Amino acid sequence: MPISIQMSLAVIVVVAVVTFITRAIPFVIFRGGKEIPETVRYLGRVLPPAVIGMLVVYCLKEVRVFSFPFGLPELIAVAAVVALHVWKRNNLLSIGAGTALYMFLIQVVFVN
Amino acid sequence: MKRKGNGYAAAFRAAFPYTIPVLTGYLFIGIAFGVMYQEKGYNFLWAILMSVMVYAGSGQYVAVNFFAPGVNLLHVIFLEFMVNIRHIFYGLSLLERFRGMGKKKLYMMFSLTDETYSLFFVTKVPPEVDEHKFLFAIALLDHSYWIMGSAIGALAGSLIPFDAKGIDFAMTALFIVIYIEQWMSAKNRLAAIVGAAAAVVCLLAFGSENFILPAMICIMAALLCGRKVMEPKEERSVVEHAD
């Protein structure tokens, strides 16, 4: 171990506490039976679709479009997931086949 | 209401199929974490401890680098806060659904990862299952996959017999599927566009390391300013009646 056991434990505790705080903040602000303002309720309704859109981009943030393989594996695999899902609407099929296709593309097809 | 004891078994049975995509994704990104952590000199017990206590994908990936001489805890606080800042907004959508969960609520707040949060919005709670138990089952199952993945990675990461490179695409695919499901429900499509568009614009403007905070600010601003367009009067009244 590069640092002492005590320091390692301290790092874990700090990381755990900070992570928990970021997740708990809204519940602390609107705790108890406090009336939730209409604007916050509205945000609660429209945020999930917006955040999920953001998370899709977040997952693809390291894709490099200007150098080999030009984001092609991601583009093809994402298109496959979308097409499969619109067609069959089967979560496991879309995710499983899309992931297998992506692995094949980066391990076999687009090898630098 | 319902018979005691039976409720949880039914909730876990109903929740499990929904969590299978997360099972696939978490096992493998958990394994990747376990391998990285083990390479730093920490065995599987440490990996399990961290995954039990922290439970954050990108947060734990970043944290692996903190286990080095000269680590500064203030630095740790700042970096972890920045990595996890998007979570601040997740609870806003769950204030009412978590109400009345008693002791479980603390765990629900703790376990609010990207994947669990997203699943909460596409899963349909079966009528015979208690909603609170159902949500709790999803959260606990997801957490257990994450712990298992980390342990496997730290114990046997180097023994995996096939090349798993790219398997983390399961997570991307999961979010895409949830995005499409949300789109097909024909509700809040504009908000879905705003989220993706703001993220792309901020990614181009700020780079992959720093775009999440500006993206969240843009999304909040757009949603607040565009309320009349995002949620037309008729739709709002429908939602209110549904409540």
| Separation between Cα atoms, residue B54 and residue A13, nearest integer Å | 8
CA distance B24 to B171: 8
ipTM of the complex: 0.87
List B residues 30-49 in contact with A (Cβ-Cβ < 8 A). 40-42, 46, 49
Chain A residues in contact with B184 (beta carbon < 8 A): 89
Q: Where are the alpha helices (DSSP H) in B64-207?
A: 73-84, 104-110, 114-120, 131-156, 169-184, 189-206
Neighbours of B26 (CB within 10 A): 29
How close is the nearest chain B Cα to the Cα of A70, in Å? 16
Domain spans, chain B:
6-185, 188-243
Q: Per-residue pLDDT tens for A20-58?
A: 999 999 999 988 777 888 888 898 889 888 988 998 998
Task: Identify whether the C-beta of residue A25 lies closer than 8 Å to the C-beta of residue B110.
Answer: no
B229 CB burial (10 A radius; 0-12, 13-18, 19+): exposed
List CB contacts (< 8 A) between B189 and chain A: 49
Picking from A42, A50, A82, the nearest residue to B219 by CB comes out as A50
Q: What pLDDT digit, counting tens, does each position of B47-88 carry?
A: 999 999 999 988 898 898 899 998 899 989 988 888 888 888
pLDDT for residue A13 is more than 70: yes
